[in-house]
Each structure stands twice: as structure tokens, then as C-alpha cells.
Structure 1
Amino acid sequence: MALEIDPKKLLYFAAVIEQGSLNRAARQLSVSQPALSTSMDRLEAELGMQLLERGPKGIVATRKGDILYCHARLIREEIQLAERDLLNADDCRSESIRIGSLPSLASKIVPMALSKWRETHEGGHLEVVENAQVDLLTGLLRRDFDFVIGFTKVFDMLDGLRQRVLFRDTLRVIAGINHPLRELETLTWGDLVKYPWISPTSRRTHTVLDHIMRTMDAPLPQITVCGSVSLLKSLVAETEHLALLPAHAVREEVAEQRLYELPFFDPTLNRDIAVFFREGYVMDQPRKDLVACVTEVGMELCRDKKLDEVPA
């Protein structure tokens, strides 16, 4: 049976949950308390379920009310995004450039690219968000970002998005200087997955390990999630955890012998880095220049230095 839900009542409902009081929510919404109370009664009647209950700490959501609140909040955010985009479409307004980036790229490539871009765009306003790829692309579809810098391999494209490959980087298996695996001359995935791993994003987005484990028909190893690449590096240095990071992201730590790059190579560790954008999206010159800077920096940092040292 289909439910008829009034979107306006959902916005009111979200405010009631967040304020925990009809009086406070009514003031925030600029409506009368009796009118808001009637609106909530009608919403419950229309859905045929209790959504709110009064407790000692004020009004709280029931289990079903909590489910509805999650969707009500998203609807409100979509309306706010639509308002922002419509206002930004006015030529008189200065629009921010909003990009999303994988944490492993935001640690070095993106900052260097932004610095290079600033040389010719001093007054441009930028917002950069680090997150897992699936969350970045979902945000891109919701118009949270102008474009996203991510990877293409072992990932199903979402409808409505397009991609353009910028450069290729290589993931390395990173360990602490005194890790037990340093004693092995030849390493296999079987050796590596015996140890716990650390990821800067959620377990569900560790696509390389997930792909390997499915190929081996084995469960994922223990994965600890930390909030940043810098924290990941510290944990790897002090424990027996392993991590996958691009070679460019750990070059300094390896050179200074604070981290160790295990001599393990696999084709699955090569990945194409691309810019993702919505279908039909047209970049202006500042955005094109920013993507060009990311490409230039990425190609330079990911260039195989060893090949340059081979005499002609």
C-alpha cells in the first residue's frame, strides 16, 4: 500500500525532532504552536503510525519516526542545495568551486595542485572534501560537488555520471620498519591478510582488498578504520597493521625510514585516477584549469623515477 506523504509536513517533522519541543520548533519555523501540533497529528493520521512520543526530556521519535526523520532531513538538504544552486546561477554571485577527493589523493596531489592553481586564480574560492569514493560519487549526483577526483578500477559506475582518466598511480603495501613480514623474501596475498589492516575510509569501500578476497574466496582481514591518512601512517609505524597507500603519499616517510614499503607487487594495485562529473555538466575555465593542475601534479608525482635513472 502506497503512503501519501506531505513534503511540507516532513520539513516540520524534522524541525520537531531536532528541537525536541513543539514550541521551539514552531518558533524556528515561524508558525504557531497549535498549527504545528495539528500538522504533526495529521501526519501521523495520514501514515497510520505513531511517529512522536513525549518523554521526560521532551518530544522524541519512535522507531518508525526515526526512520522517517532520516528521509525528511535528506529532503530538506536537497531543497537547500536547490536553493544554493539557483542562487549561484545568478551572474552577480561569486560561486565556490566544490570538489571531492579520496583521502589518499588529498594528502599530497590535491594540495599541490591547488597551490599551482592559485598562481593564476588568486581570488577563487575553493572547498575540498575528503571521503570514501562511494560517498563522494553519491554527493556528486546530489550536486554537493562540481567534480570528484577518484579511481576507476574495481568500481561500478553510477548512472548519470561520466569520467575522464587523468593519470595512473600505484598502491603500495605499507608497514612499520620492524614489521615481521620484512623477514620474508617472497610475499603473497595469503601472507598479507594474516595481519590486520588500516583504512582511511570505511570497510565497505576497501575495494582492492574486497576484490582480492573474493578472488581468493576468503573473508576480509580485520580492518581498522581511522579518520585520516596522517593518523593511518602513525598507526602503521607503531603497530603490526598494514595499509594500502599510493607510492607518492608515503615517499618522504619511506625515504626517512619511518615507514617501510613491502616488496609486493600485483596488477590490482595499479589504478587509474579520473575526474568524475555529472552527465551534461560543462566546466568553466577556472574548473578546467584546476583539473589540468591535478593532472600535471599527478603525472609528475606518479612518474616512475627509476625509469628516469636508466641510461639511454
Structure 2
Amino acid sequence: MDPRKLLYFATVVEHGSFKKAAKHLNISQPALSTSMDRFERSLGERLLDRGPSGVSPTPAGDILYAHARLIREELTLAERRVATHEHQPDDMVVVGTLPSLIANIIPSAVCRWRTRHPGPTLRVIEKIQLELLISLVRGELDFIIAQTEWYGFMEGLRQRVLFRDRLYVLGRPGHPAFERDDVTLGDLARYPWVIQMIGRQRSLLEKLLAQEQVGMPASLTECGSVNFLKSIVAGSDSLAMLPGSAVDADVHAGKLRPFNFNGPLFHRDIAVIYRDEAPLSQTSKELVEAVANAGLKLASASLATDPPNTGGSADDL
């Protein structure tokens, strides 16, 4: 497959016209048309439908275009990284982290790390778990602070567990579910829930409710922002599940209140994950240690909860 013809093909699909695509590529229209004819013959597939109203991809062309677009994006990324390499300081640190860690643990670690490293440029990127892993593999991040879950999803990565934090089911202080002493997670499934996009919290909630033979809540709101989750919970009867380090201040301020569910499934391991081919620099290692220390300190503090619920503990799971 000719890489240049592949990129030409993507341009034709996006412009829907040989004339417009040729102008964008700065080549003649006949040359582009001939190139696409040869490209189709080389693959033995018709990729483009040509009509009086323009050009559109065939089903096979749609499949190829999806790959062509990704290849072009990777080439663009490679060009940008090479072009900016000379201008990027050797002591720049680019770290990715989860939204649930950005409110407390990461800032605390950065403040401690800065006392010893005032010079390096630090760039902190906040993304959900899967996006962090993809950015790490693509070389956009030096390392990430994320959950150990999905670690084996991609090859060429290494990890080291830094600390363990606890997840809490949270509601507003006046939530009607707090009026019951024996409330279970199954009972809470009757209320709306707000959860993080594509993450352990959804799979965990499914697993916990399945233990009680209860389906997922009928009303679900998904987002990638911890602040959004907390605001929805504080202002409605929606419930959420977040780590204690992300909600400690909100609980003490009386904005949120935790339910007293506990057990192994309510704990998660947080690790540093980096590419095997790009070991951490000494500067990065010291930042990682600062994150570990902050995590151990903040995640170990339990939120105040009511006396144990007789029906709601997850200790048996």
C-alpha cells in the first residue's frame, strides 16, 4: 500500500471532491484522479463512488479511511514532536493524572517537590484512565499516576504501586437514604447516580449491585469531571462514588456525606506507570516519591461515617 496514495485518499474523502482535494494537496486534478484509480487497482477494491454531486467512500473506503486518518494523525504527531524536540527543555516533566487525584494528592505532592526542584518546567495533564494510557504510549507523557486496572491493556509499560485509597458512596447530607439505618447498595440503586466515564467506578458499581441481584440504576449521568460529580450530588438526590482524598474537604464542610460501606472492593491501588523504553529521570523519580508520600498521608485518613449499616457492608464480597 502506497503511503502517499493513502493520505491522498483521506484528503479526497474529507473534501468530497477531486477538484477541492487536488487544490488542497497542490497537485493537478487529473494526476490525483489517476493516482486514486491506481490505488484502487492495487488493492483490488473500489474505494470511492464517483457521481455528479461529488465523491463519497464505499463501505470498503470507509474502513480504509478510518485507518488512514489515524496514520495521518500519528505522522503529524511525529513531525510535531521532532520539530519541538530542540525547544523542549531537558528538565521538563510532563505527567498525566486522574481527575480524582488532581484536587488534593497531586497538588500536595507538587508543592513538596517544588521546594527541592524550583527550576524544571512541570506540565500536569488531567485525563481519564484510558486516555492517559494512550497518551503515554504515544509519548505525549513522561509517566502517569493512575489506577493499576487496565495496566496489561497495552504492552511496553511498567508500573509501581504507590498507595491505596478508599472509595466512598456519597450523597448530600439531607438525602432521604440516610434516614434508614439498614440501607443497602441495592436500596440506593433506586436513586439517580452520577459516575465517571469508562472507569472502575462503573464496573465496581455493577459488581456490587450484582452481589445483591440488583441491576444498574435507571438514571445514570456520566462525566469526566470530579467537580461536576460533587456538584450534582450536593445539589440533588444523585449519588456518586469517589475516593476520600477527593472529597475530604467537602465532607468536613458539610456539602457531602459518606455512607458507611466498606470492604476490599472499595479500595483501589494507585501506581506510577511509564514506558519501558523511557525510564524515569531522577527529577521525575523524586516527583513520584512526593506523590507516594502525599497519597499515603491523605488516602489513609478515613472520612467520618455513621455507625455501621447492618445491611450495607461490602465486607462479605
Tell me if both proteins adopt one fold, taking TM over 0.5 as the criterion: yes
Is contact 2:195–2:240 with CA below 8 Å preserved after alignment?
A: yes
Give deviations 1:183-210, integer Å, cap 9, x for gaps: 1223333223333321232378733224
Per the TM alignment, residue 117 of structure 1 is displaced from its structure 2 partner at its CA by 3.6
Is contact 1:213–1:220 with CA below 8 Å preserved after alignment?
A: yes
Local SS of the residue matching 1:129: strand
Cross-structure match for 2:6? 10
Cross-structure match for 1:186? 182
Amino acid at match of 2:205: L
Which stretch shows the higher mean deviation, 250-259 or 108-117?
Answer: 108-117
Cross-structure match for 2:64? 68
Cross-structure match for 2:125? 129
Per the TM alignment, residue 303 of structure 1 is displaced from its structure 2 partner at its CA by 2.7
Q: Does 1:264 align with 2:248?
A: no
Local SS of the residue matching 2:183: coil
Give deviations 1:109-130, integer Å, cap 9, x for gaps: 2233334444444453444333
Per the TM alignment, residue 270 of structure 1 is displaced from its structure 2 partner at its CA by 0.9
Change (3 A) 1:265 1:75: same
Local SS of the residue matching 2:241: strand
Cross-structure match for 1:298? 295
Match of 1:101 among 97, 100, 103: 97
Give deviations 1:68-103, integer Å, cap 9, x for gaps: 22221211222233345555666x742553332221
Per the TM alignment, residue 269 of structure 1 is displaced from its structure 2 partner at its CA by 0.9
Per the TM alignment, residue 244 of structure 1 is displaced from its structure 2 partner at its CA by 0.9
User: Percent same amino acid at aligned positions?
Assistant: 43
Is contact 2:129–2:199 with CA below 8 Å preserved after alignment?
A: no
Which stretch shows the higher mean deviation, 39-48 or 58-67?
Answer: 58-67
Unaligned runs of 5+ in 2: 305-317
CA-atom RMSD in angstroms:
3.1
Once the two structures are superposed, the pairs formed by residues 91-240 of structure 1 within 5 Å of their partners are 93-94=88-89, 96-153=92-149, 156-202=152-198, 206-213=202-209, 215=211, 218-222=214-218, 223-240=220-237
Once the two structures are superposed, the pairs formed by residues 68-87 of structure 1 within 5 Å of their partners are 68-86=64-82
Amino acid at match of 1:48: E
Q: Structure 1 CA distance, aligned partners of 2:69 and 2:123?
A: 23
Give deviations 1:153-191, integer Å, cap 9, x for gaps: 586553322110111111111112222211122333322
Q: Structure 2 CA distance, aligned partners of 1:210 and 1:105?
A: 23
- Output the TM-score relative to the length of structure 2: 0.80
Q: Structure 1 CA distance, aligned partners of 2:76 and 2:135?
A: 14
Cross-structure match for 1:289? 286
Is contact 1:140–1:278 with CA below 8 Å preserved after alignment?
A: yes
Q: Structure 1 CA distance, aligned partners of 2:213 and 2:151?
A: 19
How many residues align? The count is 301
